[in-house]
């Protein structure tokens, strides 16, 4: 063991040299484990018991503290056992600790049975069997009760879920019906508007076509009338020309006949007077007749030529008129075909425009439906999120107001117990009942658990804690700690207020102390630690 800087006040001097290298090594070890070494806290006690080097350091540098630790050796051993239990649980698991506890209990039961007589052993076995049967029956009834409660709660939840689902279904059907009615109304209105617009457009096109057709007929009639008038005028002119030519011919013939008659009369008159020149006259007459015949033939040939030319001209004009009429007809047909193609193209364009508008309206309608569905989904998700946040907030508030471990409570219809844990999600307490209620651990709703004020230590109660005796100031049930003044009857300014968990506080029992003064007594190098698996998990 190292030497100590603390010298006894009885004048004795230590003759053990100081191992400065070990001192600095253990100081570094302790500082690596704990940063603040000026106050003694529950964590410091665990640190003291955690390693041999730390224990030696505390013996070396905090001898008064270690004297205080020796004074409270029982509590320190309990603290060490709790620390060892936690280490074993972290290393091997809770099932290993439970198995150790069962083996230890079996060993204790076997040791207890060895000390009994055969009759007492038989009675104890009968009593244990009866007790085990009662416990098993109680557990079975409790399991049945829990199962019945769970089934009842499940049935209630199912009914509530079915009612909520039915309400949502009815609301969805109502909204769908309203939306369908609104869509049907919009569709009928839109169809009526489209039909009216289409009818108006068709009426306008029909009127335009009728107007164009009438205009075309009028132009054709005017053209035909003009052509007929021109033909009639030309025919009349030709007839007048022919009549004039015929009249001229008849006049010539009449003049010729009159001349012939005059010549005949003159001839007859001269026959009597000039018989001598009859031969001359006959010759002259024959010459004249031949001349007239030649002139007549020439005239007839000219008339035939003029007639043929006139017929050819008329035929040419008729052919020209026919060609012109054919051109007009072909132009009219081409114009009609062009107008028909334009009309069909316009109808196709209008149809495509209507289809495009209908497609755009369908897409717009589908988009609105998708947006409405998305908005409804987002609203539902937002409502669900708000509901979950509200539920979580309520659970957090209940958790903040929940009772902590080891807080004494009264369970409705079951009696007193102590809180083991609180389930935030299910809002239930795990409560360990008192021994009078079987000592079993049960799960109950938070509404059935009430704080047991009668079992809470009153203020100024003198209690023992892992770091000494103190007075109770009060209890915080939500944290599970007593506020304790560590210095009894000390001035208010000198009191040290500590917060200790409920399981680490016991009512102080005055004990007589026996002191033995041994000179030159050295402290042990290690502090014995007894590990008991069935020790509580943690006192702090």
Strand order of the β-sheet with 468-476 is 497-501, 481-485, 468-476, 462-465, 506-507
CB distance 34 to 45 below 8 Å: no
Asked whether residue 188 carries a pLDDT value surpassing 80, the answer given is yes
**Mean model confidence pLDDT for the chain:** 79
**pLDDT (tens digit per residue) in 29-57:** 655 555 444 555 565 666 666 677 777 77
Q: Find how far residue 344's CA is from the centre of its chain.
A: 49
Asked whether residue 528 carries a pLDDT value surpassing 50, the answer given is no
What average pLDDT does the segment 426-453 reach? 83
Q: Give the per-residue pLDDT at 491.
A: 61
Q: Give the per-residue pLDDT at 27.
A: 61
Q: Give the per-residue pLDDT at 438.
A: 62
**pLDDT (tens digit per residue) in 465-516:** 887 788 888 888 887 888 888 766 656 665 667 778 888 888 888 765 555 5
Q: Give the per-residue pLDDT at 535.
A: 35
Q: Give the per-residue pLDDT at 297.
A: 86
CB distance 371 to 377 below 8 Å: no
137 vs 498: which has the higher pLDDT: 137
CB distance 535 to 85 below 8 Å: yes
Q: Find how far residue 377's CA is from the centre of its chain.
A: 7
Q: What is the pTM of this model?
A: 0.30
Q: Give the per-residue pLDDT at 192.
A: 92
Which fold does the domain 402-450 belong to in CATH?
SH3 type barrels. (2.30.30)
Which region among 31-45, 82-96, 173-187, 320-334 has the lowest average model confidence (pLDDT)? 31-45
Q: Where are the beta strands (DSSP E) in 41-106?
A: none
Q: Give the per-residue pLDDT at 477.
A: 84
Asked whether residue 147 carries a pLDDT value surpassing 90, the answer given is yes
Q: Give the per-residue pLDDT at 530.
A: 36
Percentage of residues in the chain with pLDDT exceeding 70? 80
Q: Give the per-residue pLDDT at 403.
A: 84
How far apart (Å, rounded) are the C-alpha atoms in residues 193 and 202?
14
Confidence of residue 274 (pLDDT cuts 50, 70, 90): confident
- CA 342-347-353 angle, to 5 degrees, is 125
Asked whether residue 67 carries a pLDDT value surpassing 50, the answer given is yes
Asked whether residue 148 carries a pLDDT value surpassing 90, the answer given is yes
Confidence of residue 166 (pLDDT cuts 50, 70, 90): very high
How far apart (Å, rounded) are the C-alpha atoms in residues 387 and 186?
36
Q: Give the per-residue pLDDT at 538.
A: 34
What average pLDDT does the segment 445-462 reach? 85
Q: Give the per-residue pLDDT at 144.
A: 93
Which region among 210-214, 273-277, 517-521 has the lowest average model confidence (pLDDT)? 517-521
**pLDDT (tens digit per residue) in 291-347:** 888 888 888 888 888 889 888 888 888 888 888 888 888 888 888 888 889 989 999
Q: Give the per-residue pLDDT at 515.
A: 53
Q: Give the per-residue pLDDT at 141.
A: 93
The closest alpha carbon to 45, from 66, 27, 60, 63, belongs to 66
What is the residue extent of each domain of the chain? Answer: 402-450
192 vs 13: which has the higher pLDDT: 192
Residues 6+ apart with CB under 8 A from 531: 81, 84, 85, 88
Confidence of residue 156 (pLDDT cuts 50, 70, 90): very high
């Amino acid at each position: 063991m190292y030497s100590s800087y603390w010298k006894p006040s009885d004048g004795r001097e230590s003759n053990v040299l100081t191992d400065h290298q070990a001192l600095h090594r253990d100081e570094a070890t302790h500082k690596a484990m704990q940063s603040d070494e000026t106050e003694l806290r529950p964590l410091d006690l665990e640190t003291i018991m955690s390693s041999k080097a730390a224990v030696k350091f505390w013996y070396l540098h905090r001898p008064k503290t270690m004297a205080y630790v020796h004074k409270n050796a029982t509590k320190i051993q309990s603290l060490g056992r709790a620390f060892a239990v936690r280490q074993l649980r972290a290393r091997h698991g809770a099932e290993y600790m439970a198995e150790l506890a069962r083996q230890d209990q079996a060993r204790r039961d076997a040791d207890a049975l060895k000390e009994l007589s055969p009759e007492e052993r038989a009675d104890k076995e009968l009593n244990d069997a009866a007790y085990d049967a009662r416990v098993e029956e109680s557990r079975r009834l409790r399991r049945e009760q829990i199962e019945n409660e769970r089934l009842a709660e499940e049935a209630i939840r199912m009914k509530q879920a079915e009612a909520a689902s039915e309400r949502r279904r009815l609301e969805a059907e109502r909204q769908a019906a309203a939306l369908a009615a609104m869509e049907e109304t919009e569709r009928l209105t839109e169809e009526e508007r489209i039909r009216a617009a289409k009818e108006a457009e068709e009426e306008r096109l029909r009127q335009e076509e009728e107007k164009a057709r009438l205009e075309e007929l009028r132009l054709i009639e005017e053209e035909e009338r003009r052509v007929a008038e021109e033909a009639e005028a030309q025919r009349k002119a030709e007839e007048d020309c022919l009549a004039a030519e015929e009249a001229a011919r008849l006049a010539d013939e009449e003049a010729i006949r009159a001349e012939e008659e005059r010549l005949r009369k003159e001839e007859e008159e001269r026959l009597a007077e000039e018989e001598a020149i009859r031969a001359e006259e006959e010759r002259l007459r024959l010459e004249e007749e031949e001349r007239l015949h030649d002139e007549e033939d020439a005239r007839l040939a000219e008339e035939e030529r003029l007639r043929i030319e006139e017929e050819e001209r008329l035929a040419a004009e008729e052919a020209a008129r026919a060609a012109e009429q054919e051109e007009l007809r072909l132009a009219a047909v081409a114009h009609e075909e062009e107008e028909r193609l334009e009309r069909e193209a316009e109808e196709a364009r209008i149809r495509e425009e209507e289809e495009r508008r209908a497609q755009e309206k369908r897409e717009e309608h589908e988009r609105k439906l998708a947006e409405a569905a998305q908005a409804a989904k987002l609203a539902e998700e937002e409502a669900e999120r708000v509901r979950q946040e509200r539920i979580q907030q309520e659970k957090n508030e209940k958790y903040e107001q929940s009772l902590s471990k080891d807080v004494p409570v009264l369970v409705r219809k079951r009696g007193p117990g102590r809180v083991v844990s609180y389930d935030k999600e299910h809002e239930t307490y795990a409560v360990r009942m008192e021994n009078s209620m079987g000592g079993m651990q049960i799960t109950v709703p938070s509404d059935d658990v009430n704080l047991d004020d009668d079992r809470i230590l009153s203020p100024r109660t003198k209690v023992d804690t892992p770091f000494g005796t103190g007075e109770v100031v009060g209890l915080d049930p939500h944290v599970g700690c007593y506020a304790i003044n560590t210095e009894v009857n000390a001035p208010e300014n000198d009191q040290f207020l500590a917060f200790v968990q409920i399981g680490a506080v016991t009512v102080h029992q005055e004990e007589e102390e026996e002191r033995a003064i041994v000179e030159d007594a050295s402290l042990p190098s290690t502090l014995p630690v007894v590990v008991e698996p069935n020790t509580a998990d943690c006192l702090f």
